[in-house]
Structure formats: C-alpha cells, structure tokens
Structure 1
Amino acid sequence: MALDQSNQQLPRILCLHGGGTSALIFKIQTRRLQWALRTHFRFVFVDAPFESGAGPGVLPVFADCGPYYRWMIKDSPTMERDQQRVRAVLRKAIAEDAGTGEWVGVLGFSQGGMMTAGLLADQEEGEETGLPEWQFGVLLCASYPPLSLSRARGYTAPKEMVDEHGEVREPEEKEIIRIPSVHVRGKLDPHFEKGRRLAKFFDQDTSFHLEFVMGHNLPGAAGDTTSSKGDTDRIRDAVLSVYEGDMKRTVSKYGSVYGNGVGLAMTT
C-alpha cells in the first residue's frame, strides 16, 4: 500500500499520536485510514514534546521505533509551561509543513484524542492558541477529560464536573462543543466508558459516534482479530460527512445501525 501525499494543495489534517508512541508509529497505525482518504486530505504528523516510555500495545511491534513521546505529563507541577511547549510544537509543525492546502481538521488517537478534544474545546470557548480554526475533529479511542492548551486542566475532571457518585455530570449548554466531530470507540477498549463520558460534551447533532468490536486500537491494527473489513470505510465516510456538511448522506448509506453488529450509535 504505497501512499502518495505529494499533492500539496490537498486540505490538511493535523495528526496527534497516542501517549508513549510517536509521529512515525501513528503514521504506520493509520495507513488504512490515510489510504481511504488519500484523495481528500494531506495528513501531517507531529511528535509530542515530552519523551516517555513505550505506551500500551507499542511493544514488541514497534520496539525499534523509539524514542517515544507523550503530550502531557500526569499531575505535572508545571502544567502551564507544558501547555506552552505543546502549543510551540504544534505551531512549528504547522508552519514548516510543505503543503499549501487549508488546515481543516485535527485527528488524534488515545491521548492525542484527548488533545484533539481540548483543541476543539479551546476553539469553542474562544481561547487564543495561535493555531488554525478547525472545521472538524476526529477522536480515535479518546477518553475524558479533554486536554486544554489554555487552562490548567489535568487528567481528572474538575470537582464541579463530577456528581456525588464520582461520575462526570451532564454538561451544561454552554459547555457543549458544536464543532463537527467523529468519535471512534472500541467496545473491548478498557477506556470505553471514559470515551462515552467525553462524547457527552459534543453536540449530538454535529457528531458521529462509531463503536466497533475492537480494543484500544484502530480497525485492522496488528493483532486485531475482531473488527470488520468495512470499518475503515465507515470511518472514512463519517469524516467526509462532517467535512462536507452532509451527515444525512452517510446515515442514508448505512442506516441507523452503523458498524459491525454492535448496534453502533450514530447521530444525525
């Protein structure tokens, strides 16, 4: 599968890898999705600023692909400075990319998906980050909470966002993210419920929620024996739907159950 990203005029998507991986690994992990969208977008991958150990599922497949990186450091005493470093890394990658197409989307996996949610939340709230204005986001196996680059938000939900049972409460109207988005979750992912909590903060009229029989990975990843052959195509169609503003077309194509036999949730 030879990918050709030489068309520099294609609209661009910024791609954020998971914690304990790298831009190189994420580029390999998303080859199927890149191929499916190769004539529509240019994919730009960037390494996070903080070195770390290998993340879950990285070894032994990517044992020779270090160093590994993460976007945020849990319970960091220098959160604001860390956020500044992340902003600088993203701005540099955006400024140095050879493409000329418009920046249209941000796509992230796992911790990169939390970063994606944070970037969309910052934009929704009018925060100034010096980054493009995203038209849509794609969150792959992401979980709550979003990782903001403007506020000192850590890895746990703020107290005012947790109910008496320790669960994330229903968001208020002002907290809803209305930027179009695609959410992909694995039914076998140990972070599955946290992914559903995150989805509460996205407008259900402008988001697709795809649940596949898989773990904390993308369809067709190394070792994946549960996802279905057409799952990547379904993600492709959902991404194109939010980008082109024609979500009803994809609903019409797949019907109300959108996935591989798990009663996949889908909003229109």
Structure 2
Amino acid sequence: MAESNKHLPRLLCLHGGGTSAMIFKIQTRRLQWALRSTFKFVFVDGPFTSGAGPGVLPAFAGCDPYFRWLNPESQTAEQDQRRVRQLLSKVIKDDGGEFVGVLGFSQGARLTAGLLADQEEQNAAEGMPNWKFGVMLCGSFPPLSLSFAKMPSTKPSQGTDEHGETREPDEDEIIHVPSVLVRGTLDPHGEKGRRLVKYFDPETAIAMVFKMGHHLPGAAGDTTSDKGDTQKIVDAILKVYADHLPYEELKAPKTTVMENRNGQLSA
C-alpha cells in the first residue's frame, strides 16, 4: 500500500493530545482503507512528550512515548509555536509530495483549525502548503494558531467557564476553507467540538454528529456508533475535496449534511 500510493495527494494527520502517530494510524485505519486510492496519509508525532491522553489506556498501554501539540509547562508561546512549525514544515518537505488537506483528532483538530485560520488570514507558517480542506474529529477549541501575528490572547474574553472561554468568534475569525467537523453526542468533551464549529462558515463546512464518545466510529469497544458512520465521514471528505477540483477530476455527490435535533444526519 505504501508503494502504490506514492503518487497520491497527501493528507497530513495530527493525533490527539497524549497519543502518537502510531496510535493515530490505528485509530484511522477504517478511513485510510476507504480513502486508500485518493490520499496518502502522512502521520507525525507532536513535539512535546506527555502522559497518556483520554481514552488511550488501557488499549494502548505500553505504546509510549505519548506526545501532544501544546506544552502545558511552557512560559513562552512563541517558542512552542516555532517548534511545531519547524516540525510540520520538515515533515512536509521531507515527504516531497503535494499536501492538499490536514486531518486532526481532539487537540490535533484544534491545531488543524489553527493552520486553516492562519492561511485564511495570510499568516500561514513558513513551509506550510496551501490547504484545500481540513477534517476535524472530536475537536477542541479555539483554533491553535502557529502565527506570531495571532496569539491566543490577542482578543479579549467575555468571561470564562470550565472550557476556558465563552465569547463568540468575531467575523474576521471565521474560517472559509472547506472543512468537515465531526463530534459525538456521548463525548465528554463534545461541548468544545460544538464551539469549534462556530469558527467555520456554514456554507463551506460540513458539521456531523454521531452517537459515539471521544473516538472515531467503529473504535475498539465501541457499541454505539452505526457501522455506516465511517462511510458518511468518507463521503463528506470527498465532497469538500471535490469542491476545489474540476468535476471530471473527481466526481463526488454534491450533498449537504446537516444535524437535526436528535443529532442524526440528513441530506
């Protein structure tokens, strides 16, 4: 499979906090198989070591070291931003392929949103490609920027709660890059994912809600999500990717997926 997909456009994959590239490869195996003829998945470890993240144990006990994209002990945000930028740009340069999309889970989804936001504000980190689309799975908020020009604290908050923020995103913070945002109704961090959706233009983003926890559909031990949920995510990814391609190059159904009151999907 590795040999046969060298020519394919790349999808940069960012794991959640307290996991690793190896673990994320396992977690996304269904997506990889379904999209094996469309993308080459490129995984990367975050630059900061940490303990195991939510849901990692006991399934991935002994699979340390674990990594994250944020350094909780840091006193210098700019230095941390630089480390993440340098790491990602090196991975992209060393691969040598065409990176068209970025996919992240949990904390990695927050970084995914930040990469898209930086690009939209023309503050893209050096070495970053022009992202065509983004995919955020069980994401957190707000977007994690890698730009010195857009630090997380530059806009005043209107009070905080247990999630650290209550204000709505300003108009100039809305992201228009085609995106897919997935969250679970049983996810204890689901409120963070709901707030992340607010940073995206509803005309260009597909927000999807499934009956699941803080994991992808069909994860080990999952008895709640439907077997077809993975395919629904795959279809949404193909749609946002197709939005920037000529119709002849990739024919994808032009459907809009919306959530209803019950958290189910309707076209």
TM-score w.r.t. length of structure 2: 0.88
Give distance in 2, aligned partners of 1:78 and 1:163. 23
**Aligned Cα RMSD in Å?**
2.6
Matched, 1:30 2:34: no
Question: What secondary structure does 2:253 align onto?
Answer: helix
Give distance in 1, aligned partners of 2:156 and 2:114. 18
Give distance in 1, aligned partners of 2:68 and 2:160. 32
Give distance in 2, aligned partners of 1:17 and 1:120. 17
Q: What's the CA shift for 1:262?
A: 2.9
Percent identity for Structure 1 against Structure 2: 61
Match of residue 255 from structure 2: 251
Amino acid at match of 1:110: S
CA distance 1:56–1:49, shift in 2 (3 Å): same
Q: What's the CA shift for 1:159?
A: 5.9
Amino acid at match of 1:175: E
Number of residue pairs aligned between Structure 1 and Structure 2: 257
Question: What secondary structure does 2:42 align onto?
Answer: strand
CA distance 1:109–1:265, shift in 2 (3 Å): farther
Match of residue 115 from structure 1: 111
The Cα offsets for residues 144-169 of structure 1, whole Å up to 9 and x where unpaired, read as 11111114645xx7662436888633
TM-score w.r.t. length of structure 1: 0.87
Q: What stretches of structure 1 of length at least 5 have no aligned partner? A: none
Match of residue 200 from structure 2: 202
Q: What stretches of structure 2 of length at least 5 have no aligned partner? A: none
Q: Tell whether the 8 Å contact from 2:208 to 2:259 is kept in structure 1 after alignment.
A: no
CA distance 1:108–1:241, shift in 2 (3 Å): same
Q: What's the CA shift for 1:122?
A: 0.6
The Cα offsets for residues 43-96 of structure 1, whole Å up to 9 and x where unpaired, read as 000000111111111111111211100001236212110110001110111112
From 184, 187, 190, the counterpart of 2:185 = 187
Matched, 1:70 2:68: yes
Amino acid at match of 2:263: V
Question: What secondary structure does 2:182 align onto?
Answer: strand
Q: Tell whether the 8 Å contact from 1:187 to 1:211 is kept in structure 2 after alignment.
A: yes
Question: What secondary structure does 1:219 align onto?
Answer: coil
Q: Tell whether the 8 Å contact from 1:122 to 1:148 is kept in structure 2 after alignment.
A: yes
From 91, 102, 105, the counterpart of 2:101 = 105
Match of residue 139 from structure 2: 142
